[in-house]
Amino acid sequence: MHTHPNESAFDVIVVGGSYAGLSAATQLARARRRVLVIDGGRRRNRHADRSHGFLTQDGAEAAAIAAQGRAQLRAYSSVAWANDTAVAAHPAGDGFDVTLPDGGSVRGRRLVLATGVADTLPPVEGLEARWGTSVFHCPYCHGYELDEGAIGVLAAGEASLHQALLLPDWGNVTLLLNGAFEPQKDQLAALAGRGVAVERTPVARIEGRADVVLQDGRRLPLAGLFVATRTHIASPLAQQLGCALENGPMGQYVATDAQKASSVPGVFCCGDMARPAGNVALAVADGALAGIAAHRSLIPELAVVA
């Protein structure tokens, strides 16, 4: 269903219909609130075939988890869905107006932003084409399936040191510095203590499944390659609304309290856009917190006993 609902029809507008947004909207629907979900259909993990580490869904198709969530949510009669992108948002009356690409707008008393982040990969030939299939960022999501094989970490800065020290629990690790940074003496000792090899020859390209071809012609066959991407919040809405941001190791994210409330009253943020790093399980948990908090904020009497 693609809908342009009547203005002022919604208690909460949820922008972003992936795992966090679906989770938030489900809590609100079960509280019998009128909810609109606006989703452009670009999940961050859309390149990954399988999702791992999410209780009861370990190894399930990532797209199937999202599709099942959408179907279950849309069975609630108080939920409307717009296959669209929110291009702007601003305070209006006792809530917020959200602008759609055709210039129309919808209004909600509260906003839940779950727009995710976009990843920027280092400019190495062959890297982007393998993103989500043999090039990864999260060992908890993809490390086990590499069967304790040879694993590479393509450095993108000092954040890659953390990856390199973490990954030996999943296989034999080589840290490919690729000119991104030079570890200090104590960092080299820590790497050696974890059995991590350090390769300083720059990377020319990635071939095969995840084979690293170095500029001197050597080839390092790998079961998988990890890289710490740079991320940016995928939608401008949080910045337009003036939500406070924090700087994380991968990029900026929206600052929230323990209940996922942003610095702007009435705006809640959840999922990857509102934490320094995340996965499906954390996104679902964040969404539940945001949805419950948004619902409670609609009940002024609760403030008396808070």
pLDDT along the chain (306 residues), means of 10: 52 96 98 96 77 84 91 97 95 94 95 94 95 93 94 93 96 97 96 98 97 97 95 95 94 96 98 91 96 96 75
Amino acid of residue 192? A
Neighbours of 36 (CB within 10 A): 23
Residue 164: name the closest of 225, 230, 206, 118 by CA: 225
Q: Which uninterrupted H or E stretch holds 187? A: helix 185-193
* pLDDT at position 1: 35
Task: Convert the pLDDT of each residue in 46-79 to its tens digit.
Answer: 767 788 888 888 878 888 999 999 999 999 999 9
DSSP annotation of 261 reads B
* pLDDT at position 291: 98
DSSP annotation of 277 reads S
Rounded to whole angstroms, how far apart are CA atoms 296 and 156? 42
* pLDDT at position 42: 82
Q: Can you read off the two tokens belonging to residue 162?
A: 């953390």
Task: Convert the pLDDT of each residue in 254-287 to its tens digit.
Answer: 999 999 999 999 999 999 999 988 889 999 999 9
DSSP annotation of 49 reads S
Rounded to whole angstroms, how far apart are CA atoms 78 and 35? 6
* pLDDT at position 306: 58
Instruction: Give the up-direction half-sphere exposure of residue 143: CA atoms within 13 A in the CB hemisphere.
Output: 20
SS3 label, residue 140: helix
* pLDDT at position 249: 86
Amino acid of residue 211? D
Tell me the backbone φ, ψ of residue 272, rounded to 5 degrees.
-60, -25
Per-residue CA distances from 49 to 44, 61, 127, 131, 134 (Å):
12, 6, 17, 11, 11
Neighbours of 263 (CB within 10 A): 16
Tell me the backbone φ, ψ of residue 12, rounded to 5 degrees.
-140, 135
* pLDDT at position 190: 98
* pLDDT at position 159: 85
